[in-house]
Amino acid sequence: MVIAGADGRIQSVNRSFCEGGVWSEFLAHMEAETGKRVQFFPVQSNAAQIEAMRAGRLHIAGFNTGSNPLAVACSGYRPFAMMAAADGSFGYEMEIITHPDSGFNDIEDLRGQKLAFTSQTSNSGFKAPSAILKSEYGMEPGRDFEAVFSGKHDNSILGVANQDYPAAAIANSVLSRMLSRDIVSEDQIKTLYKSQTFPTTSYGLAHDLHPDLQEAVQNAFFSFDWSGTKLEEEFSKSGEAQFVPITFQKEWSVIRQIDDANGVQYSCQ
């Protein structure tokens, strides 16, 4: 999300940061804490984020759950924070959803059907459901169901609600926000499966920033007052109220286990 460039500026990148100016107050706080001017620009994919950090053009970012291992391995990303509730709890569940008129009542009913995923780097949108379907139900894409990709959780949820997709694997934190905005309604969605709790988006920085700047950036996250901000307004919809410290070793162990189960290897070519 942010880094000091040769001209002394800080550059920011994350698609979700720019939605409705949600992060504007936080970016101003970052400028005050670091003494750097913050520049924001959006990216179009996880791969673009990873390449930007790897090339030294991206310095601080929020990486989604599933892309963290690749970002750590291939771009020198060092996650240190996550959003959490006021009581310190955090995370989300992967749900496999359908629409009430589908006639599906359990996972076995998906055999021979289309199942929408988001992207191959997404934990809840691909990695976790793939591992669960294979280990718990003996179901694999191409053989037992047809996998299609929507691009993001919002598209998958809307696709199910509008009956464009028979079913989809999604992060229920995104579903909660869409329900709270009345983008979809509860009578359009039916849950077939709900997973254990996973960590959500991590926030971190490039490992090769100057130690003093790294410390200032981290302080900016943990000293930010959410009260009355657009950040609070947006993320309170999914129960989040603060940034809490995390480590890749501890909080992402379950994600690495899922990658192992899927035979994932991190190629940095």
What is the residue extent of each domain of the chain?
9-88+200-261, 92-198
pTM of the model: 0.74
Average pLDDT value for residue range 129-140: 92
**Would you list the DSSP string of 29-93?**
HHHHHHSSEEEEE--SSHHHHHHHHHTTS--EEEE-GGGHHHHHHHH-EEEEEEEE-TTS---EE
Query: What are the pLDDT digits (tens) for 144-171?
Result: 999 999 999 999 999 999 999 999 999 9
Six token digits for residue 148: 């299609």
Query: What are the pLDDT digits (tens) for 166-199?
Result: 999 999 989 998 999 999 999 999 999 999 889 9
Residue 109, pLDDT score: 97
Q: How many CB atoms lie within 10 A of CB 81?
A: 21
Q: In terms of CATH, what superfamily is 9-88+200-261?
A: Periplasmic binding protein-like II (3.40.190.10)
Six token digits for residue 114: 């289309």
CATH class of 92-198: alpha beta
Fold match between domain 9-88+200-261 and domain 92-198: yes
What residues are paired with 40 via a beta bridge?
12
Closest CA to 176 of 107, 87, 93, 84: 93
Closest CA to 252 of 15, 29, 73, 45: 73
Query: What are the pLDDT digits (tens) for 84-100?
Result: 999 999 988 999 999 99
Query: What are the pLDDT digits (tens) for 41-83?
Result: 777 788 889 999 999 999 999 998 889 999 999 999 999 999 9
Closest CA to 189 of 172, 204, 208, 205: 172
Confidence label for 3 from pLDDT (cuts 50, 70 and 90): very low
Beta-sheet pairing, 9-13 with 37-41: parallel
Higher-confidence position of 229 and 41:
229
Average pLDDT of the chain is: 89
Six token digits for residue 40: 């924001």
Residue 265, pLDDT score: 80
Indicate whether 238 pLDDT > 90: no
Confidence label for 258 from pLDDT (cuts 50, 70 and 90): confident
